């Protein structure tokens, strides 16, 4: 089921959350809406779900116009950042909820719930209450609950935002695998660019209620459309007035063509990578190299090292 | 955002507002109208008779003493419950709420059975010059009884929330218990305390049943304003009854508004 | 640090206990003591004497009716206060507490004025059982509202949105999501309303006319027995009321514990 949101505008009082936004989500893809707080990504997701109504614009799901439909009739699965568990129901009853609303026969519900709980590895917790689960378990329950009714699309609003870093990374991988198995059109909202890059087929970068750039993760990382996108998507540093990726800087002990002599200010070793703070003609910049390379160069604060850019220098207009 | 469908929303709104209109608003509006049916001066006259003046005076005295007593008790017990652990703490906590569950006439009966002139304790006290029942002290006791939990319940949650770190800091800086209480604890619960006092005051001014039993309702001597209302009404002096009732209603509304203003955030409603 | 205050707390506790005992505990004990001072048979005879028994029955029945009405109306009022926005909602919110603040005798006068013999709207429910119910409804108005309101305000609207996204209609959501979460607060408020209604005195005195066997509530019966020096009878009925209050408080505690476990 594809999703098309066209010319969507949404204001909350004086604040414009979405300004004439148009996006297309291909069937079966996993698309990330990526952006900082206030970029409008959550609002867009909620508009697609029908939880908020846009001031202008349309929403199409699977080719048919869903703009006037309430959330009950859009057949979308929605997973909230704080899981929105039904606190007064057990895990099993939570997952069964959508099916019981649709008045499916009890045996069918039981079977489906069991299937889903096994899918998310919560079989042993069927009779527990959400309060007794950890954050990661609650999130898996929320996912199972949304998937139970076999929605046409799955929408996740910062699903891992409230979890610890380690749990977040694990669930990220698990979600990607789940998507590869189930092939449900999925849209995930996140402010974490690492998450978007790792998990999504396509990334929609949003800022201040508009779409800044759309593309596959590697594409937009390598070819950002402006300075802001480049800065948001990954580490940046400044070389002779141009924005550069620190890991695109090559350091050598001897001068080479196009290299500049920079002075080492500090060396920070972080496991696999080493970060080197430099100054050149009064300007500060930094480079990311593997610790192996750093060790070979034997850098110390005060020494000179020759720096050049790995590829063609970006000339971007902000 | 889950929006209730308009039809449902309007029907609930109508039912609720209708209920409140019939039960709350109309009766009040009518009392105001009846009170001032003949203008302001009859009201003024009714409230400045000697009996009325005495009633105001007695009410003020009884309520004043009761509120002061319950405030001291309230702050003390709140401190005990929140800052200390002792066997029976939970029992004390439960007992504090007891007065709320007791019918006012039962309060009056209870006090009469102990402090009445014909009882052992009461009799001894009367013979030695302190008459409690059918006199002001008894009325004070009754008013203390009914208002007992109010200051405690207003102050305790705030004490809990603030925590005792500031007090501990004061101790490490050399302050004595009393100094700490006066300069650290008391200022920090000022809002909650004021709130509790307003509630206690409103309650004390408005008490009827317990005081009716305990006071003997002697006009001019042990008659509070609430008793005055009833007595005047019984004697077909509707003007005085409504006037006094109106005065009490004004006090009630004022105390509500003030209490709402000073209610500490997250405190008891 | 602890040593400095070692004498303070026990002294305070002792004083508090003396204060409590002198004013609350011992007098209440005296009521119970008096009620059985002639043995259980005297207690029972007094309690079940025609007039007292009628008063007790009337009180309990009316209080149950009032509690049931409050269960529904109180929840609806809380709903409107929390979920509905209309001009004047703030004033209504403050007014709800009026029955708490208004002296009961004034409440009685107020109701009598509008719904008594001189009623301008020609509704006369004085001297009838329904007058008692009206008085009790007035004084118990805030209870369910004020226990439900904070719970409703804190309710996670995301739960309702989740239910909607899963296909639940507004009505299904209200029934299966909102109501179960409100139920403990609703019950707590209803219990409090019941306990208050059972003890009520001042507001019923005027509108009911206190006709024995017809509109005389338990508290008024106790009052009359005190006035006519029938202290044992008064104590017996008082003890019955205290027992009812105790049972209600225990039920409340059970509800509170249940909520804490499933919260």
Q: Spell out the SS3 assignment of chain B.
A: CCCCCHHHHHHHHHHHHHHHHHHHHHHHHHHHHHHCCCCHHHHHHHHCCHHHHHHHHHHHHHHHHHHHHHHHHHHHHHHHHHHCCCCCHHHHHHHHCHHHHCCHHHHHHHHHHHHCCCCHHHHHHHHCCCCCCCCHHHHHHHHHHHHHHHHHHHHHHHHHHHCCHHHHHHHHCCCCHHHHHHHHHHHHCHHHHHHHHHHHHHHHHHCCHHHHHHHCCCCCCCCCHHHHHHHHHHCCCHHHHHHHHHHHHHHHHHHHHHHHHHCCCCCCC
Assess B53–C contact: CB distance below 8 Å, yes or no: no
Answer whether residue C12 shows pLDDT above 90: no
Whether A189 and A158 have beta carbons less than 8 Å apart is answered as: yes
- Beta strands at A242-244 and A283-290: parallel, antiparallel or unpaired: unpaired
| pLDDT computed for residue C114 by the predictor | 81
User: What's residue A316's pLDDT?
Assistant: 42
Contact A101, A177 (CB under 8 A): no
Predicted local distance difference test score (pLDDT) of residue B3 = 53
Q: Find out whether B239 and B46 touch, Cβ atoms under 8 Å.
A: yes
Q: Any CB–CB contact under 8 A between B86 and chain C?
A: yes
Give the pLDDT means over successive 10-residue stretches in chain B (269 positions): 66 91 87 88 89 93 96 94 88 88 94 91 87 92 94 93 84 84 89 93 94 89 92 90 93 91 62
Interchain proximity B241–C109, CB inside 8 Å:
yes
Chains sharing 3 or more CB pairs under 8 A with chain C = A, B
The pLDDT-based confidence of A158 (bands split at 50, 70, 90) is very high
Distance in angstroms (rounded) separating the CA atoms of residues C131 and B191: 40
Q: Are the beta carbons of A229 and A205 closer than 8 angstroms? A: yes
Among the partner residues C80, C105, C109, nearest to B12 by beta-carbon distance: C80
Tell whether the model's pLDDT for residue C74 goes beyond 90: yes
pLDDT digits (tens, 9 = 90+) for A13-25: 899 999 999 999 9
Task: Judge contact between A5 and A57, C-beta under 8 A.
Answer: yes
- CB-CB: which of C163, C166, C262 is closest to A88? C262
Choose among C158, C176, C263: nearest Cβ to A82: C158
User: Which residues of chain A lie closer than 8 angstroms to C156, CB-CB?
Assistant: 82, 84, 87
Q: Give residue A312's pLDDT.
A: 60
C159 with A76: Cβ contact below 8 A: no
Question: Number of C-alpha atoms within 13 angstroms, CB side, residue C230?
Answer: 17
Chains with at least 3 CB pairs less than 8 angstroms from chain A: C
pLDDT at A318: 38
Q: Kindly tell me if the per-residue pLDDT of A229 is higher than 90.
A: yes
Q: Can you tell me whether residue A80 is helix, strand or coil?
A: coil
Which residues in chain A have Cβ-Cβ distances shorter than 8 Å to C172?
Answer: 101
- Give the pLDDT score at B268: 42
Give me the mean pLDDT over the A233-258 stretch: 87
Query: CA-to-CA distance for A17 and A311, rounded, in angstroms?
Result: 38
Of the candidates C162, C172, C180, the beta carbon closest to that of A80 is on C162
Q: Which residues contact C107 (CB under 8 A, 6 or more apart)?
A: C99, C135, C138, C139, C202, C203
Interface contact C181, partner A, CB < 8 A: yes
Query: Does the distance separating the beta carbons of C161 and A80 come in below 8 Å?
Result: yes
C53 to chain A, closest Cα gap in Å: 42
Question: Which chain B residues are Cβ-neighbours of C245 within 8 angstroms?
Answer: 101-102
pLDDT in tens, C94-124: 889 999 889 999 999 888 888 888 777 777 7
Q: How far apart are CA A10 and CA A206, in angstroms?
A: 15
Average pLDDT in chain A: 90
Contacts of A88 in chain C (CB under 8 A): 180-181, 262
Chain A touched by C158 (CB under 8 Å): yes
CB contact under 8 A, B230 and C231: no
Q: Choose the mutation target among C110, C118, C159, C198 for the interface with B, i.e. most B CBs under 10 Å.
A: C110
Write down the pLDDT at residue A317: 40
Residue B84 contacts C, CB cutoff 8 Å? yes
DSSP state of A316: -
**Residue C1: predicted pLDDT:** 44
- Residue in A257, A258, A186, A194 with CA at minimum distance from that of residue A29: A186
- Taking the domain C42-262, which CATH number applies? 1.10.3720.10
Best interface-test mutation with B: which of C202, C220, C234 has the largest number of B CBs within 10 A? C202
Contacts of C78 (CB under 8 A, 6+ apart): C144, C145, C148, C149, C152
The span from the CA of C179 to the CA of C152, in Å, is 10
- Rounded Cα distance between C112 and C124, Å, is 9
pLDDT of residue B212: 93
Is there a contact between C167 and A78 if contact means CB atoms under 8 Å apart? no
pLDDT at B129: 85
Which chain B positions have a beta carbon within 8 Å of C234's beta carbon?
109
Q: How confident is the model at residue C82 (pLDDT cuts 50, 70, 90)?
A: very high
Nearest chain B residue (CA) to C110: B27
CB nearest to C159's CB, from A50, A77, A86? A86
Task: Assess contact for A232 and A220: CB atoms under 8 A.
Answer: no
Which of C151, C163, C167, C178 should we substitute to test contact with A (largest number of A Cβ atoms within 10 Å)? C167
CB contact under 8 A, C177 and A86: yes
Q: Does B255 touch chain C (CB under 8 A)?
A: yes
pLDDT per residue as tens digits for the range A282-318: 889 999 999 998 888 888 888 899 988 887 654 444 3
* CA–CA separation, A239 and B266 (whole Å): 54
With contact defined as beta carbons under 8 Å apart, do C181 and A88 qualify? yes
- A interface test, pick of C151, C162, C182, C260 with most A CB neighbours within 10 Å: C162
The pLDDT, as a whole number, for residue B269 is 38
Q: Does B12 lie at the interface with C, CB-CB under 8 angstroms?
A: yes
Q: Is the pLDDT of residue A228 over 70?
A: yes
What pLDDT, on the 0 to 100 scale, is given for residue B101? 87
User: Strands of A202-207's sheet, edge to edge?
Assistant: A76-79, A153-157, A185-190, A30-34, A202-207, A210-215
Q: Quick one: pLDDT at residue C237?
A: 95
Chain C residue with CA closest to A49: the answer is C165
The model carries a pTM of: 0.83
Is the ipTM, as predicted for this complex, more than 0.85? yes
Residue range A190-198: mean pLDDT, rounded: 93
């Amino acid at each position: 089921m594809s999703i098309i949101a066209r010319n969507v505008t949404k204001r909350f009082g004086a604040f414009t959350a979405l300004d004439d936004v148009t996006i297309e989500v291909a069937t079966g893809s996993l698309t990330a809406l990526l952006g900082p707080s206030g970029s409008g990504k959550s609002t867009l997701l909620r508009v697609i779900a029908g939880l908020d109504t846009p001031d202008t614009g349309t929403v199409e799901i699977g080719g048919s116009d869903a703009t006037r439909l309430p959330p009950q009739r859009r057949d979308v699965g929605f997973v909230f950042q704080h899981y929105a568990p039904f606190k007064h129901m057990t895990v099993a009853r939570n997952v069964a909820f959508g099916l019981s609303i649709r008045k499916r026969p009890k045996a069918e519900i039981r079977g489906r719930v069991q299937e889903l709980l096994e899918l998310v590895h919560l079989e042993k917790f069927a009779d527990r209450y959400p309060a007794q689960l950890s954050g990661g378990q609650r999130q898996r329950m929320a996912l199972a609950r949304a998937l139970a009714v076999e929605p046409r699309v799955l929408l996740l609003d910062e699903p891992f935002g409230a979890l610890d870093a380690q749990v977040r990374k694990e669930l990220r991988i698990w979600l990607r695998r789940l998507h590869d198995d189930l092939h449900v059109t999925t849209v995930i909202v996140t402010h974490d660019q690492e998450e978007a890059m790792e998990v999504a087929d396509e990334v929609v970068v949003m800022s201040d209620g508009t779409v800044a750039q759309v593309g596959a993760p590697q594409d937009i990382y390598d070819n950002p459309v402006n300075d802001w996108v480049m800065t948001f998507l990954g580490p940046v540093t400044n070389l002779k007035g141009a924005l550069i990726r620190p890991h695109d800087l090559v350091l050598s002990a001897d001068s080479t063509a196009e290299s500049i002599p920079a002075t080492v200010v500090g060396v920070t070793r972080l496991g696999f990578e080493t970060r080197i703070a430099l100054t050149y003609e009064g300007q500060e910049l930094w480079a990311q190299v593997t610790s192996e390379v750093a060790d070979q160069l034997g850098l110390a604060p005060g020494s000179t090292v020759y720096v050049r850019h790995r590829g063609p220098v970006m000339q971007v207009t902000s | 955002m889950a929006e209730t469908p308009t039809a449902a929303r309007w029907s609930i709104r109508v039912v609720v507002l209708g209920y409140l209109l019939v039960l709350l608003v109309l009766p009040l509006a009518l009392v105001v109208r009846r009170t001032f049916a003949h203008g302001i001066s009859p009201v003024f006259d009714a409230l400045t008779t000697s009996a009325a003046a005495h009633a105001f005076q007695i009410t003020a005295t009884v309520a004043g003493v009761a509120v002061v007593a319950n405030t001291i008790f309230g702050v003390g017990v709140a401190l005990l419950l929140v800052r200390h652990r002792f066997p029976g703490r939970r029992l004390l906590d439960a007992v504090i709420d007891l007065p709320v569950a007791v019918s006012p006439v039962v309060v009056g009966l209870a006090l009469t059975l102990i402090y009445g002139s014909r009882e052992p304790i009461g009799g001894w006290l009367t013979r030695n010059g302190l008459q409690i029942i059918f006199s002001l002290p008894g009325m004070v006791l009754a008013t203390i009884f009914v208002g007992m939990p109010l200051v405690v319940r207003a102050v305790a949650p705030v004490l809990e929330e603030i925590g005792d770190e500031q007090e501990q800091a004061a101790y490490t800086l050399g302050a004595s218990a009393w100094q700490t209480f006066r300069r650290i604890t008391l200022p920090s619960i000022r809002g909650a305390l004021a709130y509790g006092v307003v509630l206690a005051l409103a309650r004390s001014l408005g008490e009827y049943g317990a005081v009716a039993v305990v006071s003997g309702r002697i006009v001019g001597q042990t008659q509070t304003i609430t008793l005055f209302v009833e007595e005047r009404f019984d004697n077909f002096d509707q003007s005085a009854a409504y006037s006094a009732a109106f005065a009490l209603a004004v006090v009630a509304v004022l105390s509500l508004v003030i209490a709402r203003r000073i209610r500490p955030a997250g405190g008891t409603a | 640090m602890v040593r400095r205050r070692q004498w303070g707390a026990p002294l305070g506790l002792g004083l508090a206990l003396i204060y409590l005992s002198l004013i609350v505990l011992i007098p209440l004990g005296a009521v119970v003591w008096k009620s059985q001072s002639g043995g259980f048979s005297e207690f029972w005879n007094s309690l079940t004497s025609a007039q007292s028994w009628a008063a007790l029955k009337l009180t309990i029945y009316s209080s149950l009716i009032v509690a049931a009405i409050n269960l529904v109306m109180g929840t609806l009022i809380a709903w409107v206060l929390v979920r509905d926005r209309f001009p004047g909602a703030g004033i209504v919110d403050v007014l709800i507490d009026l029955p708490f603040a208004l002296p009961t005798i004034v409440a009685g006068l107020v109701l009598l004025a509008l719904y008594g013999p001189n009623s301008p709207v020609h509704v006369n429910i004085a001297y009838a059982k329904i007058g008692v119910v009206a008085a009790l409804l007035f004084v118990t108005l805030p209870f369910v509202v004020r226990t439900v309101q904070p719970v409703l305000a804190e309710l996670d609207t995301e739960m309702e949105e989740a239910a909607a996204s899963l296909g639940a209609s507004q009505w299904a959501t209200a029934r299966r999501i909102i109501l179960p979460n409100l139920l403990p607060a609703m019950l707590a408020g209803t219990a409090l309303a019941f306990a208050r209604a059972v003890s009520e005195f001042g507001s019923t005195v005027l509108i009911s006319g206190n006709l024995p066997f017809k509109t005389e509530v338990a508290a008024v019966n106790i009052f009359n027995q005190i006035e006519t020096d029938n202290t044992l009878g008064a104590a017996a009925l008082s003890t019955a009321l205290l027992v009812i209050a105790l049972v209600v408080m225990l039920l409340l505690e059970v509800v509170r514990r249940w909520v804490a476990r499933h919260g």
